[in-house]
Amino acid sequence: MKSDEFRKTGYEIVDWISDYMDNVEDYPVKSQVAPGEIYSKLPAMPPLRGESMDTILKDFKKILIPGITHWQSPNFFAYFPANTSGPSILAEMLTSALGTQCMIWETTPAAAELEERVLNWLRDITGLPKQFEGVIQDTASGATLAALITAREKACGFEINEKGFREDNKLRVYCSKQAHSSVEKDVKIAGFGRENLVKIDVDANYAMDSNALLNAIEKDISDGKTPCCVVATIGTTGTTAIDPLKETGEICNRFGIWLHVDAALAGTALILPEFSWMIEGKEYIDSLVFNPHKWMFTNFDCSVYFVRDSETLIKTFEILPEYLKTRTKGEVNDYRDWGIPLGRRFRALKLWFVIRFYGLEGLRDKIRGHITYAGELAEMIKKDRSFELLAPVPLNTVAFRFNPGGLSEKKVNSINEQLNHQLNDTGKIYLTHTSLDGRYTLRMVVGQTNVTIDHVRNAWSLIKEKSAEIKL
């Protein structure tokens, strides 16, 4: 592509993106297409000769846009957010234009040093201990996998890396019943075996019951097994429950167990001084991950992974083929040794843009706003006798259901499922659900970059309106 054509199409695309940002609320939040609809509109064979950018862009708008779910709509209340922001998108453009590989310092010194600086910023503004060092990973799932493998190697004296698992390596991993499914997936991939993941009961607030954790660990020890790692969650995916870190940490410390903290969403709230209580007991943490690609307005993918002892991490992952030997080894950070992939994009750039554009106060205002709006929503739900809150609301996620009274649990579940589908089919808002003690639970997550209290109030009106239409 010649630079003239690039420039012309580039301006067009930037115009389109700017209009998209202004008008994102005009699209149905959840894509309304049927399965196969998009696929059938795409030709069976690729073009033999190159096509014009005009034609490609026309098809992008006509064929693909209807199949897009608009995660950047402020009426998106589903899952957890995957936010972007202007500065982040612009940085991504530069990252893709530079197209650098950031596997070792030498392959892009600025990327390695910016990553080190920005991760130290994040460590300090979230209140993590000073000796922690950070690295950008693709996802929380990937970072937790890195944590589990590191914990595994530490527990076996780096033997499994060399010889593989032995019959008598009975290493055990613990997390709560509300922990994210990625923990189970990672336990499988890291070779522990799913049977060696112990899911601990939760208390009335859906946080890990630390007495049950202690009992499980003691039982395993008396059965000749080796407790290896506890994954505590700060902000569970279902209800943003916060596992008791101090008690959990004391147990880990007592038995020499690796403590990994999954704070995928909630880690961002640690920039608010009023939420520092979430990591009380931080002196016991070995590793922690959170996702700026969820709640810190930074495009996917960008997870930040912090470790107390980077040497153990590097010892676990390091591999040194001849072609990667450099003169600077040991003086600088070669991040390929800090996780699984070799190739790495220049992801620190977007974090740097975002943090500088908003400033710490700007980020705090936004996050505080979201938490306040979620609190207001919880109050509105509490006041309505046809609805009930199903979990505490420590952060930005409200778990609730429609329960007009006098109906069986089974019926209440089915009307809430119906309500969820009917709401999403309007295209006006998008909510997803979870299950709490067998109850179909609607979740409303207030965390999109541009969400305001008006979006939340309008969503609540729509929920009430649609619930009134349900035949009981």
Ligand X SMILES: *Cc1c(COP(=O)(O)O)cnc(C)c1O
In the complex, the smallest distance separating the C-beta of residue 259 from ligand X, rounded to whole angstroms, is 15
Dist CA 85 CA 450 (whole Å) = 9
| Residues in Cβ contact with 28 at an 8 Å cutoff, skipping those fewer than 6 apart | 70, 427, 428
Nearer to ligand X, 305 or 335 (CB): 305
Nearer to ligand X, 264 or 444 (CB): 264
Residue 304, helix vs strand vs coil = strand
In the complex, the smallest distance separating the C-beta of residue 229 from ligand X, rounded to whole angstroms, is 15
Dist CA 353 CA 286 (whole Å) = 29
Using CB under 6 A as the criterion, which residues of the chain lie in contact with ligand X when the complex forms?
80, 139-141, 180, 182, 233, 236-237, 262, 264-265, 291, 303
Nearer to ligand X, 28 or 235 (CB): 235
Q: Are 38 and 67 in contact (CB under 8 A)?
A: yes
Residue 393, helix vs strand vs coil = coil
Nearer to ligand X, 140 or 217 (CB): 140
Dist CA 200 CA 211 (whole Å) = 9
Q: Are 320 and 88 in contact (CB under 8 A)?
A: no
In the complex, the smallest distance separating the C-beta of residue 472 from ligand X, rounded to whole angstroms, is 34
What does the block give as tokens for 258?
Answer: 């690796």
Dist CA 85 CA 7 (whole Å) = 23
In the complex, the smallest distance separating the C-beta of residue 375 from ligand X, rounded to whole angstroms, is 20
Dist CA 338 CA 186 (whole Å) = 17
Nearer to ligand X, 139 or 372 (CB): 139
In the complex, the smallest distance separating the C-beta of residue 198 from ligand X, rounded to whole angstroms, is 18
Nearer to ligand X, 104 or 264 (CB): 264
Nearer to ligand X, 114 or 231 (CB): 231
Nearer to ligand X, 293 or 336 (CB): 293
User: Residue type for 430, please?
Assistant: Y
In the complex, the smallest distance separating the C-beta of residue 416 from ligand X, rounded to whole angstroms, is 22
Residue 59: which H helix or E strand, with range?
Answer: helix 53-59
Which string of DSSP letters, residue by residue, matches 204-248?
TTSSB-HHHHHHHHHHHHHTT-EEEEEEEEBS-TTT--B--HHHH
Closest to 158 (Cα-Cα) out of 174, 145, 169: 169
In the complex, the smallest distance separating the C-beta of residue 336 from ligand X, rounded to whole angstroms, is 20
In the complex, the smallest distance separating the C-beta of residue 265 from ligand X, rounded to whole angstroms, is 5
